[in-house]
């Protein structure tokens, strides 16, 4: 069993437990459920930098990244830096995140927030909406074509943007459908954790132009972004590069200034 299979197996148990404790009606009656969302795909289309900055405490590939910062300070710093949106890891066991992180980030900023999670159940979309997310991530590697369709259509009915993540051509072909807003290419192989920007380059021409193209993982330099822009990428998800510093917002601002 690879790490992705382990994460999904644990996630199924976690979601079933939550469903037994917090009914759907409670999520739908939450204060944030009726909030008007902000579109990340629109922000990326109208941006010169295309930076989506991440809040991530640790990961299976890097263990500890940064445990000392609080999420509202990171969110405020990112927003002041002028990023297009913020990705908030909500997985607890493998990434040290939580839905509370999403809630605190939402209280601190107005920019689009992506719930970065291993989504395997419709319930998690209702959770995302109830905790202030504007965007959800769907990972093609762990979902069937039918699940991608069901989850993305539900997301659209909740006024949530959808970022669909792929790692290879087969995942891309099963995923393309009108209920997606953004197609993300993860340069990290989730089974081996090896990273290569060539993944984004080789898949770029297979992504129809109506979707915003996002490149994820392994982007740590201005050169990497300049290298990928000619391939049509408008979004760049950057996590560890900012989070491993004492002041992610300040470093994001410096990065964006250098880029422009």
Q: What pLDDT, in 10s, does the model give residues 233-248?
A: 999 999 889 998 999 9
* 111-127 b/e (C-beta count within 10 Å ≥ 16 → b): bbbbbbbbbbbebbbbb
pTM value is 0.96
Around 245, how many Cα atoms within 13 Å sit in the side-chain half-sphere?
18
Q: Tell me which residue of 212, 59, 244, 203 sits closest to 135, measured CA to CA.
A: 212
The β-bridge relationship of strands 85-89 and 233-238 is unpaired
For 3-259, CATH number out of 3.30.70.120, 3.20.20.70, 3.20.20.80, 1.20.120.530 equals 3.20.20.70
Q: Is residue 2 annotated as part of the catalytic site, yes or no? A: no
Q: pLDDT tens digits for 194-220?
A: 889 999 999 999 999 999 999 999 899
Q: Is residue 186 annotated as part of the catalytic site, yes or no? A: yes
Q: Is residue 116 annotated as part of the catalytic site, yes or no? A: yes
Q: Is residue 56 annotated as part of the catalytic site, yes or no? A: yes
196 backbone φψ class: left, alpha, beta (φ>0; ψ -120 to 50): beta
In terms of pLDDT, which residue wins out, 192 or 80?
80
With 70 as the cut, is the pLDDT of residue 67 above it? no
Which of the residues 49, 66, 79, 116 is marked catalytic? 116
Which of the residues 117, 127, 165, 240 is marked catalytic? 165
The domain spans of the chain are 3-259
Q: How many angstroms separate the CA atoms of 118 and 8, rounded?
A: 7
Which of the residues 54, 79, 117, 240 is marked catalytic? 54
In terms of pLDDT, which residue wins out, 55 or 57?
55
Q: Find the length of the chain.
A: 260
Residue 175 CB burial class (10 angstroms; 0-12, 13-18, ≥19): buried
Taking residue 31's Cβ as centre, other Cβ atoms within 10 Å add up to 8
* The token pair that represents 247 in the structure block: 């002041």
Which of the residues 11, 41, 49, 56 is marked catalytic? 56
Query: Could you tell me what percent of the chain has a pLDDT over 90?
Result: 87
| Cβ–Cβ under 8 Å, residues 238 and 83 | no
The answer for residues whose C-beta is within 8 angstroms of residue 126's C-beta and 6 or more apart is 24, 27, 28, 158
Q: Is residue 147 annotated as part of the catalytic site, yes or no? A: no
Q: Is residue 191 annotated as part of the catalytic site, yes or no? A: no
Q: pLDDT tens digits for 138-168?
A: 999 999 999 999 999 999 999 999 999 999 9
Q: Is residue 241 annotated as part of the catalytic site, yes or no? A: no
């Amino acid at each position: 069993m690879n790490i992705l299979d382990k994460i999904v197996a644990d996630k199924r148990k976690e979601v079933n437990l939550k469903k037994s404790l917090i009914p759907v009606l409670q999520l739908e009656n939450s204060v944030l459920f009726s909030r008007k969302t902000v579109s990340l795909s629109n922000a990326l289309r109208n941006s010169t930098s295309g930076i989506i900055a991440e809040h991530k405490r640790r990961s299976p590939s890097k263990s500890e990244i940064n445990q000392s910062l609080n999420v509202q300070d990171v969110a405020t710093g990112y927003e002041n830096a002028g990023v297009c949106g913020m990705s908030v890891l909500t997985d607890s066991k493998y990434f040290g995140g939580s839905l509370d992180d999403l809630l605190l980030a939402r209280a601190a900023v107005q920019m689009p927030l992506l719930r970065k999670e291993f989504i395997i159940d419709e319930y998690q979309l209702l959770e995302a909406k109830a905790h202030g997310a504007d965007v959800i991530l769907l990972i093609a590697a762990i979902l069937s074509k039918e699940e991608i369709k069901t989850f993305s259509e539900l997301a659209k009915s909740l006024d949530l943007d959808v970022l669909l993540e792929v790692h290879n051509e087969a995942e891309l072909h099963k995923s393309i459908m009108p209920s997606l807003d953004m197609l993300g290419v993860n340069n990290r192989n989730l089974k081996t954790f090896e990273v290569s920007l060539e993944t984004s380059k080789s898949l770029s021409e297979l992504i129809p132009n109506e979707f915003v193209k996002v490149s994820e993982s392994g982007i740590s330099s201005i050169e990497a972004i300049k290298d990928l822009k000619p391939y049509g990428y408008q979004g760049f998800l950057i996590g560890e590069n900012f989070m491993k510093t004492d002041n992610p917002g300040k470093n994001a601002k410096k990065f964006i200034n250098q880029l422009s």
